[in-house]
Amino acid sequence: MSRLSKLKSFITDDHRYVFLGTSFIAAIGIWFSMQKRPAMSFLRGAYAFEVFLYWFLMAWLAVSAIALAWKLTHWKGDAYQRTAPFTKPLAKTVERWASYGVVAATLILFVDRAVMGFLSIVSVSLAQDKNPADFMSSIVYMLDKSYGIIATGIMTTVGLSVFGTLIAFVLAILLVFLRIQEIDRSDNDAVRFFKTLGCEFAKLYSTVVRGTPMMVQGMLIYFAGFGLLRNTGMTVGEIGRIWSTFVAGLVTISLNSTAYMMEVLRGGIEAVDPGQNEAARSLGLSQWQAMIKVVFPQGIKNAIPALSNELVVNIKDSSVLSVIGVFDLMFATKTVVGIYFKQVELYVVAAFCYLCLTMVASWLLGKFAKHLSVEPAPLTSVSDMNTTVGTVAGTGSSEYSLDAKKNAR
């Protein structure tokens, strides 16, 4: 059953909620009818019809109140079902069709007051020669004049987030191999040294990156790179063509996400049943072959939900890169604020844009996770690695604690 069918059943077919659900909708419709008609209202010339809608919704609220009072006074056993006139077959049919009318009346009033009101604001704002004082009119006016700046910022934010996440995934795969290396009995002294060195380097990298803010990392990376190129004798213009703020921002997001993705991958790999690795080794595979062919593919699948969430996190966290001059959505918003000196209106627009981007990314990632037969993870940060969300190989569980696994060993 679709969500729309469930909602219809909840509101109209289940008598326990037919009055409760539709009375709330009727109250919304009454509130819309009490609002001032916009300039483009299609009910402006249909006053009698609008009055009918108002009193129809009021009558429904009155009937709902009577039904509620009857329920409160006949709540023991099945007294309400036996005595209430609202439970008769004919009454239920009338109530169901009347509830459809309530929804339709509210929808008509919503379109007339809200939708047509917004279109009226847009038409008036676009005809203004200066920034209006009204909140919504000012937003429409500034977006009309500065949509190119905002669109450029959105595209930069999307580019930084997507490419930064993809680069970080590749680097995280390389680092996680260093992070999970264990000394094997057949390893000579040189191999043992490099395994230990690689593991400690990965630990140190994760600790430093996850323990410092991305804003500080971005400033260090940008100015350090600028200083190194400056020492080669290059001019500021030549450096800007090579080491732009976008490149520095992309490097920052990539290196920052690498640390978190490495820990996510490590958690997914360690969540694989140890028997999988032991079985592979018993078949004659080396430690490297067992990891590549058996353990790692299962670990990747376990970590996909948390890995995909890093893209959503990067969309939001990329806003801090405006401190080094990256022309992302936040920098574009600040630019428009500097033009019109309107802070609240434009930051509301920025918040709405970020919300839309994260919702679209979450929806796409959810489809991707279902395609791979894993459960989508909730929208959170990936910095907490005590739990890896996903189907854990060999356990049949959708959530497996790494601490519990270590204790089991």
Domains and CATH numbers, the chain: 3-127 (no CATH), 138-408 (1.10.3720.10)
Give 395's pLDDT tier (boundaries 50, 70, 90): very low
Q: Which of 89, 91, 90 is nearest to 67 (CA)?
A: 91
3-state per-residue secondary structure call for 107-173: HHHHHHHHHHHHHHHHHHHHCCCCCCCCHHHHHHHHHHHHHHHHHHHHHHHHHHHHHHHHHHHHHHH
Q: Report which of residues 367 and 101 the model is more confident about.
A: 101
For 169-209, the DSSP string reads: HHHHHHHHHHHT----TT--HHHHHHHHHHHHHHHHHHHHH
- Phi then psi for residue 199, to 5 deg, are -65, -45
**pLDDT tens by residue, 162-219:** 999 999 999 998 898 888 777 766 667 787 888 888 889 999 999 999 999 999 999 9
**pLDDT tens by residue, 74-103:** 767 677 677 777 777 888 888 889 989 999
- pLDDT value of position 392: 37
Q: Report which of residues 59 and 285 the model is more confident about.
A: 59
Under DSSP, the state recorded for 38 is P
Q: Which of 201, 211, 209 is nearest to 176 (CA)?
A: 201
Window from 30-34, 95-99, 114-118, 388-392 with minimum mean pLDDT: 388-392
In the predicted model, is pLDDT for residue 241 greater than 50?
yes
- pLDDT value of position 9: 47
Q: Average pLDDT for residues 106-122, to the nearest whole number? A: 93
In the predicted model, is pLDDT for residue 402 greater than 60?
no
Which residue type is seen at 8?
A: K
- pLDDT value of position 360: 92
In the predicted model, is pLDDT for residue 378 greater than 60?
no
Q: Which of 144-158, 278-292, 372-386 has the highest mean pLDDT?
A: 144-158
Q: Average pLDDT for residues 302-318, to the nearest whole number? A: 85
**pLDDT tens by residue, 122-144:** 998 888 888 888 899 999 999 99
Most distant CA atoms of the chain, gap in Å: 94
CA distance 59 to 70: 17
- pLDDT value of position 128: 86
- pLDDT value of position 400: 36
